[in-house]
Amino acid sequence: MLAYNIHHVAIAVEDLDKAIAGFESRYNVTPISREIIEDQGVREAMIAIGGSHIQLLEPLSPESPVGRFLSRNGEGMHHLAFAVQDIEAALTHLKNSGARLIDETPRLGGGGHRIAFVHPAELAGTLVELVEVGNG
């Protein structure tokens, strides 16, 4: 697997609008996109920072994965996402190396990207997301 860039760092928040206002007032940055991803149970905003992004995630319900994360941990870093050119090749590499995958096949994520998650036990307790940014 060739992860050639950090695609984004995701932060779980209780109130998306409040978190956006904090980024705007403190760092003078605004979201480049906002969307609801029903199947993941989140409202999200992406903020461009240099060549990467901050993804703010607000749960749609307390039972969603991000909602459960917030109840256990409070607000803070949720996951680290690596950009990959070929997500199937990346997943094959990880599986062949014995990595524990949450998603063995890609699914649709924010911005229409194909994504997959790797279990936190594989990288110092950090949930990792793979984001396909181009094939070829």
Give the residue numbers marked as catalytic. 8, 44, 55, 79, 129
> Which residue carries 């749609």 as its tokens?
60
Q: Which residues does residue 84 pair with via DSSP β-bridges, in sequence order?
A: 3, 132
Tell me how far apart the alpha carbons of residues 129 and 15 are, in angstroms, rounded to a whole number: 22
Q: Which residues does residue 5 pair with via DSSP β-bridges, in sequence order?
A: 83
Per-residue tokens: 76: 């803070």
> Which residue carries 């307790």 as its tokens?
125
